[in-house]
Amino acid sequence: MQTSWKDRAAAAPSGGPRPGRRSGPVATAQTDVRLQEARLRLQAAREQEETTAHTYRALAERARQQLASCPRCREPVRGDDLLVSGHCPNPTCRMALSSLLLPAPRAGFDPNEYLALLGALDVLVGMALATTAEPTG
């Protein structure tokens, strides 16, 4: 007579240690250590996420502030107009705002390095605005 899998499962010993697995106080201590390490990693990741979110929010708030006026039409220019779009927000003007970004020429000043810095700031402001944008609709 053949036994079914249900009969074999019912007859098998249960609750004992599984082959290849440690049991007892050493295994429990190792499990506790791994669990504590995982909790610490999770806490560190949450703190890093909070710090990053705070930084992006602060940068986005500053980018939304008025910084200057358009040299041509006197429309208020915000930080994101200056660093992200690079143009006057007035649809009839749309003047390039690079003149507001470039400092007066000086000896030993490399304009390419300055433009690279502005490009990096542009990326940061764009990411900050995208991650903190309030949902519409």
52's enclosing H/E stretch is helix 25-63
Domain annotation covers residue 20: no
Count of domains observed in the chain: 1
Domain annotation covers residue 86: yes
Looking at residue 17, its amino acid is P
Domain annotation covers residue 98: yes
The angle that helices 25-63 and 111-132 make with each other, rounded to 10 degrees, is 110
For CA atoms 83, 84, 90, 92, give the dihedral sign.
Answer: positive
Whether the predicted model's global pTM rises above the 0.75 cut: no
What domain range includes position 95? 36-132
pLDDT tens for each residue of 38-89 = 999 999 999 999 988 888 888 888 888 888 888 889 999 888 888 788 889 9
Separation of alpha carbons 14 and 17, rounded Å: 9
Domain annotation covers residue 52: yes
Domain annotation covers residue 27: no
> Which backbone phi and psi does 73 adopt, to 5 degrees?
-110, -5
